[in-house]
Amino acid sequence: MTRRYRSQDWFDNPDHIDMTALYLERFMNYGITPDELRSGKPIIGIAQSGSDISPCNRIHLELAKRVRDGIRDAGGIPMEFPLHPIFENCRRPTAAIDRNLAYMGLVEILHGYPIDAVVLTTGCDKTTPAQVMAASTVDIPAIVLSGGPMLDGWLDGELVGSGAAIWKGRRRLAAGEIDNEKFLQIAAASAPSAGHCNTMGTASTMNAIAEALGMSLTGCSAIPAPYRERGQMAYETGRRIVELARQDIKPSSILSREAFLDAIVVNAAIGGSTNAQQHIIAMARHAGVELRLEDWMEYGHDVPLLLNMQPSGKYLGERFHRAGGVPAVMWELEQAGLLRSARPTVTGRTMAENLQGHESVDREMITPFDQPLKTQAGFFVLKGNLFDFAIMKTSVISPEFRARYLSHPGQEGIFECRAIVFDGSGDYHARINDPSLNIDEDCILVIRGAGPIGWPGSAEVVNMQPPDALIKRGVKNLPTLGDGRQSGTSDSPSILNASPESAVGGGLAYIRTGDTVRIDLNAGTCDMLVDDAELARRKTEGIPPVPPSQTPWQALYRATVGQMHTGACMELAVEYRGVAAVMPRH
């Protein structure tokens, strides 16, 4: 079947021969001929997310060669271009601010250049949602190619996983069990090869979710970056995108409400990152799909944890891949009737068809549905006078934490704590070990000014560590609460993503150190126990100040971003969908 591609409007347009001449000539300087560009073959973009400052995605510099091979073999013409880099660990003030920037940049490229379809090269946390969001806004055929996790990290005969090893290491450092050198050695051991985080942090989560949505080939997300299957997957992905271009299969036909509900289910079953919350909502909104805040509890909360991967479980990415990866987890969910799998995917088959025969071969890694690692592993949604929406990742709540806080006889699931309030992470670091705060097991650590507008960009700071003195006594976690995020690799039972944030006058702006916070998991509430008159008085004091913007993008980000419960999207961008349908003018 031949169809006229949008690139032909540039390269094969007799009505504008002067412009066509101009469009054609410069591609020749790296050896493409006018005949190729006028042959009616689809131009396939490769959105290159790898670079020296995006090390998690750097494998894509290599994989792109195999993607090109696949595209050429299937009769397309590849054109690779850079995505704005996003590197979770290194970007200050936070990588979150770059999701919307990379999104916006990719939209402009896909709309304004002669590209008919695109391979989205994903890896580090926000590189996946940024590109899926852009693919929806533009709505040209698109496919996700994950870069894959690093190999499993090992040290002293034990698995050491990305991020998880850091959180554990810093507790051991505070307890005086290890020195700085050992801490750095642990960090190095957790990162043994090319690839993204090898735990079920935000990177593995978002790649799994892209696969669950139906945006990548079956089994794509879990293949470790250095494995030979990764290069083979790159080749097959390159071949497949050409077919998607020919058939004009666009994200709008794949990213349905059913797909997003399945993503919520899969996220719970894999013990996925809390960051998935705003990214799933953002991807859905850009796809024009309505997700309700209730959907998290209704579809996600009762889903059991089936995957034994850090931070909720024991193992790392290599074993996940060998156990069958995302299709094996979804196979369990499918058998249990939890998926809406009669929906299209980029493979050209339905999700149900993709999952056939994918039962796991490793039952310690991926448990049978009726023998889960934990029941009710989905996010718990809370609301109250501190915020309208916040989540808690129940799959990481330890038995000790449960016993200490959630098991008071006759009051199961209810606890009250004394608030210790910090304005941003600088304040936290300056004062956490201050003895005059009298922090003990009955305290909840509260951080504010860490949301999309306050930080700016919403920082991964809510998993605050208890004071050193408490850690030395064996208290590994205190309850925490905040309007920021936390790393997907954290095992902290935090109440996070609280929205609206303090900086826009959310309830957190009015809490004070010493207030009692009451959390009731039965009712789904979290409140400061402060009477109305006092609350009214505090409101006259205003909201805690936030630092000024340091760059133009920070200012623009703050002016356009929404709150976390609506995905922290650029609000004005959500109005644009399917923009490729209207050609940009010459």
Chain contacts with ligand FES (rule: CB under 6 A): 56, 88-89, 124-125, 162, 196-197, 201, 203
Q: How would you class 33 by CB atoms within 10 Å of its CB: exposed for 0-12, middle for 13-18, buried for 19 or more? A: exposed
Sign of CA dihedral 428, 431, 436, 439: positive
Q: Which of residues 72-111 bind Mg ion (CB under 5 A)?
A: 88
How near is the Cβ of 202 to Mg ion at its closest, in Å?
4
Residue 448 near residue 502, CB atoms below 8 Å: yes
Interface positions, 355-384, toward Mg ion (CB under 5 A): none
State the nearest-atom distance from the C-beta of 575 to ligand FES, in Å: 31
How far, in Å, CA of 375 to CA of 369, rounded?
Answer: 10
Q: For 364-383, give one letter per residue: b (16+ CB within 10 A) or e.
A: ebbbebeebbbeebbbbbbb
Q: Give CA–CA dist 255/288, Å, rounded.
A: 9
Q: What token pair was written down for 396?
A: 């990481």
Nearer to ligand FES, 76 or 484 (CB): 484
Shortest Å distance, C-beta 94 to ligand FES? 12
59 binds, among ligand FES, Mg ion, none (CB under 5 to 8 A by kind): none
Identify the residue among 487, 490, 497, 499 touching Mg ion (CB under 5 A): 487
Q: Tell me if 110 sits within 8 A of 134, measured CB to CB.
A: yes
Quickly count: other Cβ atoms within 10 Å of residue 16's Cβ.
Answer: 13
CB of 534 to Mg ion, least distance (A): 37
DSSP string covering 271-318, please?
A: T--TTHHHHHHHHHHHTT----THHIIIIIITPPB-B-BTTTSSB-HH
Binding range to Mg ion, per CB under 5 A, among 2-10, 119-127, 402-410, 563-571: 119-127
- Choose the one of ligand FES, Mg ion, none that binds residue 493, judging by a C-beta under 5 to 8 angstroms depending on kind: none
Q: Report the nearest approach of Mg ion to the CB of residue 493 (Å).
A: 17
Q: Cis link prior to 311 (omega < 30° from 0)?
A: yes
Shortest CB 204 distance to ligand FES, Å: 8
CB of 488 to Mg ion, least distance (A): 5
Measuring CA to CA, which residue among 5, 250, 36, 247 is closest to residue 116? 5
Under the phi-then-psi rule, with left for phi > 0, alpha for psi from -120 to 50, and beta for the rest, what region is 376?
Answer: left
Q: How many residues bind Mg ion (CB under 5 A)?
A: 4
Q: Which two tokens stand for residue 571?
A: 């609000």
Residue 55 or 78: the one with the smaller Cβ distance to ligand FES is 55
487 binds, among Mg ion, ligand FES, none (CB under 5 to 8 A by kind): Mg ion
Among ligand FES, Mg ion, none, the one that 162 touches (CB under a kind-dependent 5 to 8 A) is ligand FES
Give yes or no for a contact between 205 and 272, defined as CB atoms under 8 angstroms apart: yes
56 binds, among ligand FES, Mg ion, none (CB under 5 to 8 A by kind): ligand FES
- When CB distances are held under 5 to 8 angstroms depending on the partner's kind, the choice from Mg ion, ligand FES, none that residue 208 binds is none
479: Cβ contacts below 8 Å, ≥ 6 apart: 405, 415, 417, 443, 444, 445, 493, 494, 495, 519
Residue 269 binding: pick among ligand FES, Mg ion, none (C-beta 5-8 Å cut-off by kind):
none
Contact partner, 203, from Mg ion, ligand FES, none, Cβ < 5-8 Å per class:
ligand FES
CA 166 to chain centre: 19
**Residue 457 binding result from Mg ion, ligand FES, none, given CB thresholds of 5 to 8 Å by partner type:** none
Nearer to ligand FES, 198 or 480 (CB): 198
Closest approach, Cβ 300 to ligand FES, in A, equals 23
Nearer to ligand FES, 163 or 424 (CB): 163
**Site stretch for Mg ion (CB under 5 A), options 53-61, 123-131, 373-381, 537-545:** 123-131
Nearest approach, Cβ of residue 486 and Mg ion (Å): 8
User: Which segments of 30-93 does DSSP mark as H helices, in order?
Assistant: 34-37, 59-73
Nearer to ligand FES, 207 or 237 (CB): 207
| Cα angle 46-230-232, degrees, rounded to a multiple of 5 | 80
Complex with ligand FES: residue 127 or 345, whichever CB lies closer: 127
Which of 91, 239 has the CB closer to Mg ion?
Answer: 91
**Contact region for Mg ion (CB under 5 A) — 14-22, 201-209, 360-368, 523-531?**
201-209
* d(C-alpha 281, C-alpha 287), whole Å: 10
- In the complex with Mg ion, which residue's Cβ is closer, 202 or 502? 202
Instruction: Select the span of 102-110, 124-132, 311-319, 462-470 touching Mg ion (CB under 5 A).
Output: 124-132
Give the footprint of Mg ion on residues 202-231 (CB under 5 A). Answer: 202
Q: Which of 260, 213, 246 is nearest to 354 (CA)?
A: 213
Grouping H, G, I as helix, E, B as strand and the rest as coil, residue 121 is strand
Of 89 and 335, the one with the shorter C-beta distance to ligand FES is 89
Report the alpha-carbon distance of residue 301 to residue 548 in Å, rounded: 38
Q: How far is the CB of 428 from ligand FES (least distance, A)?
A: 22
Tell me whether residue 256 or residue 487 sits nearer to Mg ion (CB atom): 487
Taking the complex as a whole, the smallest distance from the CB of residue 160 to Mg ion amounts, in Å, to 17
Q: Which is nearer to ligand FES, 127 or 502 (CB)?
A: 127
CB of 525 to ligand FES, least distance (A): 33
Kindly tell me which of 124 and 233 has the beta carbon lying closer to ligand FES: 124
DSSP bridge partners of 44: 78, 117
Nearer to ligand FES, 162 or 347 (CB): 162
8: number of Cβ within 10 Å? 20
User: Nearest Cα to 127, choosing from 199, 195, 43, 68?
Assistant: 195
Q: Are 63 and 145 in contact (CB under 8 A)?
A: yes
Cβ at position 528, least distance to ligand FES in Å: 34
Which residues are at the interface with Mg ion (CB under 5 A)? 88, 125, 202, 487
